[in-house]
Amino acid sequence: MYEQVSRWMAISERHFFGTALRSRRFGRMAAAPQGKQGSEIAIHRDSISQMLSFTETNIMKPISIARGIALLFAAISLASLAGCGGAPQKYYRLSADGSAPTATAGLSVGVGPVTLPGYVDRAELVFQSSANEFQVPTDAHWAGSLKENISAVLATDLGERLHSGNVVSFPWNPVLHLRYSVAVDVAQFHAVSGQGAMLEVSWRVLGGSDGQLISRHNARYEERVTGDGYDAVVSAESRLLGKLADGMAASLRGR
């Protein structure tokens, strides 16, 4: 709409300004002859001048005003379309399935850092629609860093399973003397359209003081999505982290 209005106004301006310019040139050329013919040309020149004055006053100025009004309405229309065309943004966070003990007792463990594959390490949620196709909705975003969110949820879930209030998420205070740390490497973490959510992950148990590798573990978890909407998907992905916390707790017990 904006382009059509601008194009029409430009054509109108070129037409009237071109007519005025040719008329003025004709008037100057006609000023040279003398006598009766010169008088007749002078009369025509005066008529042309009056016509130009009338054109500028009664046509060009209204066109300029009309153009401004048209462009204003076009801008308002475009702004309205832009505001109404997009879906409202929604933001989500993963949640722990319990709460860790508040007392500072129990095994001291640091959870993290967490690494994510490039297709997941983004602001939006990710869905797999077929074997080789993924979709990224523009209206469903993670609220904050997904890595930090995963680390915090795992720390809470792991603390609850170990009955320890000394499980912290990365990055932790360097003055803490942790017995172990668990580095988490996520290979896949997304929802599958019409099926559920899945998590493919590996983790390494490291010595808290020297960072030496103690054990390495791999697992793949799946969780059914119950309900509709993005909230149901995020809930299923949160339960996947609970399953991972179960596996991490099993690898730490008895040490």
> What would the pLDDT profile of 120-133 be if each residue is shown by its tens digit?
999 999 999 999 99
Confidence tier at 35 by pLDDT (50, 70, 90): low
SS3 label, residue 105: coil
CATH superfamily of 90-252: ABC-type transport auxiliary lipoprotein component (3.40.50.10610)
Q: Would you kindly state where each structural domain of the chain is located, as residue ranges?
A: 2-85, 90-252
SS3 label, residue 155: helix
Percentage of the chain beyond pLDDT 70 is 66
Looking at residue 78, what is its pLDDT? 47
Looking at residue 254, what is its pLDDT? 73
- What are the angstrom distances between the C-alpha of 219 and each of 157, 196, 222? 17, 17, 10
- What are the angstrom distances between the C-alpha of 124 and each of 60, 92, 141, 152, 198? 52, 9, 4, 19, 17
Phi, psi of 141, deg, nearest 5:
-120, 155
Lowest mean pLDDT among 23-27, 116-120, 156-160: 23-27
> What would the pLDDT profile of 243-255 be if each residue is shown by its tens digit?
999 999 999 987 7
CB count within 10 Å of CB 38 equals: 14
